[in-house]
Amino acid sequence: MAEAALLACDWGTTTLRAWTLDADGGVIDHREFDVGVSRLAPGEAAERFRDTVRPAFGAETLPAILCGMIGSNLGWTVAPYADCPAGLDDLARCLMAVEPGVRIIPGMRSVGLAGAPDVMRGEETQLMGWLAADPARRRGRRVICHPGTHAKWMLLENGRLVRFVTAMTGELFAVLGRHSVLKSDAPAGDEAAFAEGLAAAGDGDALAARLFTARSRVVGGRKPAESTPSYLSGLLIGAEVAATPRLLGLVGDEPVTLLGDAALCALYETALTRRGIPHETFDGEAAAVAGLYALHQLGRAS
């Protein structure tokens, strides 16, 4: 069995995912820890990493690389954002050492909307892992969508992230489903209602008005209340897919690469198919591991 050569961590707001990798980037072991940065006291991250994460793998002496919210003001220390445009080599030069053998990947910052910047932490590592897996992906223009609580739409040119836009679709779905007149405990698994929501999304404009249809279709149209979460999911994802690419200056029919959780990507596949947009899907966890490994290797050489 290959020996572990690297401890790689994606340390987010609610969960820490960690892997030990061999010298070629292959996964040896994988564990999850319920120590997301939102649950840490100030200054606690280093202690948890040293006393909980490393011993779980027997990885007390391995070099380590971390990405995600651990590099924010809620985490270990603030790793300053790397500005777009940037590629693998650029990001590797910005790794921040927090103690001997431990480095944090910075997030990325882009020109945003209405004069405000846009930012990400963690998604950039998945993107770089996807790029590192196939050199052909670093040629030409590509559109990447990373679905999630804060979905990222990213524009790449010749292997460099030039700009991205965030859509708070997942968070909006959660807030409306728990704290508004649309609240419901029903699961979002009604395919017909999801398709109805996609159709109601139109071109993604006037979203505040379109959202009320999730209420009116039940109280005025005799649709079952338990179908509301699926309808709302379709409406929000449909509006995002229809409108967000235009914010990047795209016309809306460019092929899209989906990168992330398989179940969530499947919903976006349905939305893209409905609009006739070509797409392909890649696993986000595998891309995260590949990105952590690639940036470790490049950072060690720089």
The 10s digit of each residue's pLDDT in 42-54 is: 999 999 999 999 9
At which residue do the structure tokens 């990885």 appear? 59
Q: What is the pLDDT of residue 1?
A: 72
The yes or no reply on domain 6-134+285-301 and CATH 3.30.420.300 is yes
**Is residue 149's pLDDT more than 80?**
yes
Q: Predicted confidence band at 152 (pLDDT cuts at 50, 70, 90)?
A: very high
pTM to 2 decimals?
A: 0.95
**Is residue 235's pLDDT more than 70?**
yes
**Is residue 236's pLDDT more than 80?**
yes
Token duo for residue 61: 């002496």
Q: What is the pLDDT of residue 302?
A: 66
Q: How high is the mean pLDDT of the chain?
A: 96
Mean pLDDT of 255-267: 97
**Is residue 272's pLDDT more than 70?**
yes
Q: How many CB atoms lie within 10 A of CB 283?
A: 16
Segments of the chain assigned to CATH 3.30.420.310: 167-283
Q: Cβ distance 167 to 244 under 8 Å?
A: yes
Class of the CATH domain delimited by 167-283: alpha beta
φ, ψ of residue 102 to 5 degrees: the values are: -125, 120
Q: Cβ distance 194 to 230 under 8 Å?
A: yes
φ, ψ of residue 107 to 5 degrees: the values are: -75, -175
Segments of the chain assigned to CATH 3.30.420.300: 6-134+285-301
